[in-house]
Structure 1
């Protein structure tokens, strides 16, 4: 019996030594995903050295106007919600280490008295079932730890996508607010000119009311645009995890230009199925549940199984040695409920895995179509709507300088430009948001190579106001991009000149 106990003790020491914490705590898999798919650094802040390194990197990024990639990197470094998600790795690894360790033995001591003597009882016991199921429990927790790694990496990718969206919205809102301020200045100059002409008796009451109404509306739109810009910037600040003086970062004046070529990819659904981390995590979850089901069937009749070594002593009998086994008798509970519950959990997990894959395919199709359409709309505004509005504005300005058009005709033309410019800002914003949604639906990145669609695969038709120069929807435009040719309303100086040289508007 002593040899058996010695063997059990040696095995316990060996198995316990195998259950240790890893050096990286599972975070290397998350940082690898960030480097591979985002080309960014993910940092789990645990020590003061880590905080100092993050602070230095943050200050370097904030020294210049933020780009979209800079915003993503800042979010990966400073977002506190993401740091909280990283703690799931530590908890999951702790469960894995705990599952790989033997249960603690139990020791019982008793001392009894009677009329002519006394007795001493000593029992050392250990759960045999816990030892027998140790390898299976370790495998199950190992799968769960791998699942937690994938889920944490997927949370990191979601934070990166949120940072991109918040950045696009913040820059677009600031650009729209800047243009709204120009429109308001133009409307104010027109309203002042109309007032002076009304006082001189050269302007009708109706025309004067129209100019004042346009100015009042422009002032209200400016206030709303500034509030939206403030809200969008604050949302970006929250996503980046910045506070204090770091919130005084500088954003660029406008969004990045459209890519030169229309995005065309093939096999996106299969790429998403292979690449998405939530699908991989669901697969591991299903495997883990299946393993748990097998364990439940193996132990359905044995709920408690303990073995112990006895060493009792009585004063009149001497030492009494032996062993005891304690086991529950499956008289009322045969474990059928445990197995039925495990089977139901497995079917639930398998169905969720299938639904995750179905949702992923649908999200890819939807986001890809949205990306193509938003690209076409933004390109249409850039190459058709905005250039036409600018051409009309230039011609109207020439007519005004040649005294062939009144200042109020020039003002009316500037109002027509508002919809074109705001439409282009919104279209450009929608494209970058759609591209972010597409990347997230594919698992955080686009395919490594852009490939043309194979024959027979329908493409989303491009938006155009004129016949396409070729049958290829991805052919380059006939004119050069004119993102910088956004028309601006006539300045106050132009209106002041019109008021002094031609007060009657003719």
Structure 2
């Protein structure tokens, strides 16, 4: 009685699973829950219009493409992410098929009988090997479907770090353009001033040529900075998946370094628990180990088919069956399948170990680089730039009192602008390293407490320092207006 009850329950479960409808969106909500737990709680639905970032978010305009908006655009338009979502759909379909039984096979045949009449043969066959292996096959497919969710969610976190990296690179490139433009302007002013002093007979030709060379070098550096902006804009555009991207949309403000709030040990432990590629690798070990156990037990099993045949002749029906077909394990007993299963388990364990070591080392490297970048930013913001600004201010006073020459003032201003460019570089490196730490830990760090610093704050105005008035270039009252040359040198 109990055996019959268990058989009825099993048959009912098989019938129910066979009738279950296919859920096309299965796994989407689970994937979003994984990303939300790691700091990215955004919809991944494809945008209807990916021509511009504003259109991708269904907005009429966009004033600033910050980190959150850039990620939202990428989630809606990035083609690589769309392909990863399609893989989730493939895994869902494969899991659905694994739960279903193979359709039975129907055979029909007709033949003439000596003496007249027709004989009709018919039969229906079912492959029972799939039924026996259905549980193991379902577990494997469902496990792969879960891994597909984890890998897709991990790709979202990774994409967030990549988009932020590209956005920061574009911001830093635009900041460098501003600094290089002011340096080029100051160098041009110095070259023009040198020409005027040369015309008055107070500057040798060598100094004029040197001023021209410096101006040309500054102009070339500005063009290189323009090229970097174009390259950074293209990288961000590709990651966002939009057709058009205005570089000015990212602005020119940099993040001010703040403390992460977690110890290196806590970050390392968090990464080992939260990195979804590592979670997926651990799941793969369990899946392959379960598959290997099934192979060890049933690796010898081949085709196992049950068929019911019937024959109809001269208006009568005569059953001949059932027929049982079993593949005999004479030449192969599943040795190769068992060896392959064991090798896959060994490979998955080695891959898991490799990822664990890589994750820990990536976190350690990112923490060390972040600390160094924050210290470098502090050096430029608190020591180097203030010192350079003080030199310019004192130099301006000395020029006003005719104690120093105008060329010295322009050189000091250029040094200040170079310090500003280096500060931009340091701020950009800090932001890039922060994105690398997010990628290493598999978690997007909070941004509520992040402050920004505008490029204009570091560059200053400096308009009165670029081309100061020269009343009489034929004289050098109150100081030497001829830099880096001897007074007695002849042109």
The answer as to whether partners of 1:417 and 1:489 remain within 8 angstroms in 2 is no
TM-score (norm 1): 0.84
**Matches of 1:422 and 1:130, distance apart in 2:** 67
Partner SS, residue 311 of structure 2: strand
**Residue 24 of structure 1: aligned partner:** 25
**Residue 191 of structure 2: aligned partner:** 191
What does the per-residue CA deviation read over 1:316-338, in whole Å, with 9 as the maximum and x for residues that have no partner? 99623321111111111111011
Partner SS, residue 416 of structure 2: helix
Q: 1:288 to 1:222 in 2, by over 3 A?
A: same
Q: Does 1:121 align with 2:92?
A: no
Partner SS, residue 393 of structure 2: helix
Q: How does 1:364-375 map to 2 (within 5 A)?
A: 364-375=363-374
Q: Does 1:253 align with 2:252?
A: yes
The answer as to whether partners of 2:165 and 2:432 remain within 8 angstroms in 1 is yes
TM-score (norm 2): 0.87
Q: 1:336 to 1:221 in 2, by over 3 A?
A: same
What does the per-residue CA deviation read over 1:219-243, in whole Å, with 9 as the maximum and x for residues that have no partner? 1001110111121112112212222
**Residue 472 of structure 1: aligned partner:** none
**Residue 243 of structure 2: aligned partner:** 243
Q: How does 1:340-355 map to 2 (within 5 A)?
A: 340-355=339-354
Q: Does 1:500 align with 2:471?
A: yes
Computed over aligned residues only, the root mean square deviation of the Cα atoms, in angstroms, reads 3.0
**Residue 421 of structure 1: aligned partner:** 420
Partner SS, residue 322 of structure 1: coil
Uncovered stretches (5+) of structure 2, i.e. residues with no partner: 478-491
Uncovered stretches (5+) of structure 1, i.e. residues with no partner: 451-480
**Residue 334 of structure 2: aligned partner:** 335
**Residue 486 of structure 1: aligned partner:** 458
**Matches of 2:436 and 2:341, distance apart in 1:** 36
**Matches of 2:461 and 2:448, distance apart in 1:** 42
Q: 1:126 to 1:143 in 2, by over 3 A?
A: same
Displacement of 1:502 in angstroms is: 4.9
Displacement of 1:112 in angstroms is: 2.5
What does the per-residue CA deviation read over 1:91-123, in whole Å, with 9 as the maximum and x for residues that have no partner? 100000000111010011122334335432211
The answer as to whether partners of 2:299 and 2:335 remain within 8 angstroms in 1 is yes
Q: 1:354 to 1:328 in 2, by over 3 A?
A: same
Displacement of 1:486 in angstroms is: 2.8
Displacement of 1:14 in angstroms is: 2.4
Partner SS, residue 498 of structure 1: coil
**Matches of 2:317 and 2:299, distance apart in 1:** 41
**Matches of 2:341 and 2:273, distance apart in 1:** 28
Partner SS, residue 255 of structure 1: strand
The answer as to whether partners of 2:46 and 2:77 remain within 8 angstroms in 1 is no
Displacement of 1:257 in angstroms is: 2.5
Q: 1:497 to 1:133 in 2, by over 3 A?
A: closer
**Matches of 2:129 and 2:322, distance apart in 1:** 17
**Residue 94 of structure 2: aligned partner:** 95
Q: 1:448 to 1:139 in 2, by over 3 A?
A: farther
Q: 1:495 to 1:122 in 2, by over 3 A?
A: closer
**Residue 42 of structure 2: aligned partner:** 41
Displacement of 1:505 in angstroms is: 4.1
Q: 1:344 to 1:159 in 2, by over 3 A?
A: same
Q: How does 1:268-287 map to 2 (within 5 A)?
A: 268-287=267-286
**Matches of 2:230 and 2:448, distance apart in 1:** 38
The answer as to whether partners of 1:307 and 1:324 remain within 8 angstroms in 2 is yes
Displacement of 1:344 in angstroms is: 0.5
**Residue 224 of structure 1: aligned partner:** 224
The answer as to whether partners of 1:34 and 1:42 remain within 8 angstroms in 2 is no
**Matches of 1:15 and 1:58, distance apart in 2:** 40
Partner SS, residue 322 of structure 2: strand
Partner SS, residue 499 of structure 1: coil
Displacement of 1:413 in angstroms is: 1.8
The answer as to whether partners of 1:414 and 1:489 remain within 8 angstroms in 2 is no
What does the per-residue CA deviation read over 1:319-367, in whole Å, with 9 as the maximum and x for residues that have no partner? 2332111111111111101110111011101110111111111111111
The answer as to whether partners of 2:307 and 2:323 remain within 8 angstroms in 1 is yes
The answer as to whether partners of 1:107 and 1:124 remain within 8 angstroms in 2 is yes
**Residue 310 of structure 2: aligned partner:** 311
Q: 1:51 to 1:242 in 2, by over 3 A?
A: closer
The answer as to whether partners of 1:257 and 1:483 remain within 8 angstroms in 2 is no
Displacement of 1:190 in angstroms is: 1.0
**Residue 456 of structure 1: aligned partner:** none
